[in-house]
Structure 1
Amino acid sequence: MIDYNDTVYNAKTPAEELGYYERIAGHYEEKLRGINYLGSELCFKALKEFEEKTGIIVPRDGKCIDVGAGTGMSGEELRRAGFTGVVDALEPSDNMYSIAEQKGIYSNRYSDMLSPDKETSVAANWYDFVISCGVFNNRSATSGCFPEVVRFAKKGGILAVVMNNDYWEGYFDIVIKSLEEEKVIQVKYLESVDGYCDDKAARILFLYKL
C-alpha cells in the first residue's frame, strides 16, 4: 500500500532525499499519478511553443542528457517527441535507474549527485539538449547546482528546465540572472503555468548556451 504521507518534502538533506527515492522507486510512478504530476508533458508541450516562437529547432538526432532521470518518465517523453539520438541519464538512485534501464531509453548512466561545489563526471560542452523535469529544489539539487548542469551543454545547445514554481523566486531567478549577466546563457523562453501537480504551478525555461 502506498503511503502518500511519505513525500520528498519530508527530506531535509541530499542524503535523505536519495534515501527516499531508493525506498519508493517501485511505486514512484504510481505516486506521481496520484498527485497528477505532469512535469514531463508540460516540458514537451512548451518545447513546441519554444521552437515555433524562436525558430530554434532542437536536433532530434543530437545528444541529450536527462538530469534526474528517475524511472525514465522524461526519457519516454523524449522518445515520443521524436528524439532518436543518444540519450544519457544522470540519476544517483540505483533503484530508480534499475526501472528506467528496463525501458531501453538510455545509452549511458551517470550516478553522481548534483552538488554546488563539486563537478560531476559528466563531460563538459557535450550535449545538444539538456533536460531536467521536477529535479531542482531547495533541498538537494539547489540553485547552486545549476551552473554545473549548464556545463553539460555545448555552445549553441539548449537547456530545458521544469520545476515547482515555489523554488523560482529568490532562488533560481537569481542564478539565472547572474548567468545571463556573465554571458553564459540566454533565456529564450520563460513561463509559469498551472497544472504541474495538484495545486502547484510549474516554472518552465528554455536556455541557449553561449
Structure 2
Amino acid sequence: MTTETKSENGWVSELYSVNNPTDELKYYEETAAVYESNLKGLNYRAPDFCFVALKKFEEESGFSVPRDGKCIDIGAGTGMSGESLRSAGFTGVVDALEPSDNMYSIAEQKGIYSTRYSDLLLAEQETSVPGNSYDLVFSCGVFNNRSATSKCFPEAVRMAKSGGVLSIVINNNYWEGDFELAINSLEEEKIVKLKHTEAIDGYFDGKTARVFVLHKL
C-alpha cells in the first residue's frame, strides 16, 4: 500500500471500500502518515462541526458541559478532533479510544490525551473503556455503515456519565436509516435524550455531515 497523498477518488474511495473493522484498522495503519494531509486537502471540517453543535446545544438547553470535565475521543486518530476540543476551551483530562498504533503515535506527540484504549469498536461488544465515566463523549467521522455501525453506538453511550453528553459527527447518508433508528430506540428505552441534530454542508469535499448531541439520562 502506497502512502502517497491521494485524492478523494483514491484514499477516501479505498477507505469506503473497506467493510469490516479489521480491514479498516489495517488501512489506517498503512496510511497514517498521509491521513491529515489527505483530510486537509479535502477541507475536512468534522471536528469543528462537533463543537459548534455542542455550543448550540448548550445555548438552546442552558446546560453547560464542564470545560474541566473528563472527556473521551472515540476514534481519536491522529488527534485532529482532540485539537478542536482544546480550541473549544476544554481543559480537563481527555482519553482516547484508538486502535491504530500508527495513527495514535502521531496523536501522542500533540500532548492532548491522558490514557489511550486500543480496542476495536465492535458491534454489541464492550471495550475496556470504563463505563459511566465521562462528562463528554465525542466522535468525528468514525461511525459508519461499514465497520463502526449503529450496533456499536450503545458502547459510546455506556462510557458517558449519567447526565453526561455525547457530541457525534457522521456522514449524513448514515443518519437516515440505521443511526436515526438506533437513537430513537435508545430514547424509547429512556437511556438518552436527543437534544440537538442538524445537517451541515461542507463535511469534506462538498459532502454533508449529520451532527447530533445526546444527553444521557
Report the TM range for the smaller structure's normalisation. Answer: over 0.9
Tell me whether 1:207 sits opposite 2:210 in the alignment: no
Q: Is the 8 A contact 2:43 2:205 kept in 1?
A: yes
Residue 12 (structure 1) shift: 2.1
Name the counterpart of 2:146.
Answer: 139
Residue 118 (structure 1) shift: 1.6
Q: Is the 8 A contact 2:11 2:38 kept in 1?
A: no
Q: Among residues 51, 55, 69, which one is paired with 1:48 in the alignment? A: 55
Q: Among residues 13, 19, 22, which one is paired with 1:12 in the alignment? A: 19
Residue 6 (structure 1) shift: 3.0
Secondary structure of the 1:148 match is helix
Name the counterpart of 1:25.
Answer: 32
Residue 112 (structure 1) shift: 0.4
Letter in 2 for 1:6: W
Q: C-alpha separation between the residues in 2 aligned to 1:157 and 1:48?
A: 15
Q: C-alpha separation between the residues in 1 aligned to 2:162 and 2:34?
A: 38
Q: C-alpha separation between the residues in 1 aligned to 2:53 and 2:152?
A: 23
Q: C-alpha separation between the residues in 2 aligned to 1:77 and 1:64?
A: 13
Residue 200 (structure 1) shift: 1.1
Identical pairs, percent: 63
Of 174-183 and 13-22, more deviation after overlay is shown by 13-22
Q: C-alpha separation between the residues in 1 aligned to 2:88 and 2:173?
A: 28
Secondary structure of the 2:43 match is coil
The correspondence of residues 62-141 of structure 1 with structure 2, limited to 5 A, is 62-141=69-148
Tell me whether 1:2 sits opposite 2:5 in the alignment: yes
Letter in 2 for 1:94: D
Q: C-alpha separation between the residues in 2 aligned to 1:6 and 1:25?
A: 11
Name the counterpart of 1:172.
Answer: 179
- Following TM superposition, where does structure 1 have runs of at least 4 consecutive aligned residues deviating by more than 4 angstroms? none
Q: Among residues 28, 33, 41, which one is paired with 1:34 in the alignment? A: 41
Residue 192 (structure 1) shift: 0.9
Residue 171 (structure 1) shift: 1.0
Q: C-alpha separation between the residues in 2 aligned to 1:79 and 1:165?
A: 25
Letter in 2 for 1:209: K
Question: Could you tell me the TM-score, scaled by structure 1's length?
Answer: 0.98
- Structure 1: which 5+ runs fail to align? none
Q: Deviations over 1:125-183 (max 9, x none)?
A: 00000000100001111000000110000000000001000111111001000000000
Letter in 1 for 2:22: A
Secondary structure of the 2:202 match is strand
Question: Could you tell me the TM-score, scaled by structure 2's length?
Answer: 0.95
Letter in 1 for 2:57: F
Residue 117 (structure 1) shift: 2.6
Residue 80 (structure 1) shift: 1.1
Q: C-alpha separation between the residues in 2 aligned to 1:6 and 1:43?
A: 23
Q: C-alpha separation between the residues in 1 aligned to 2:146 and 2:62?
A: 36
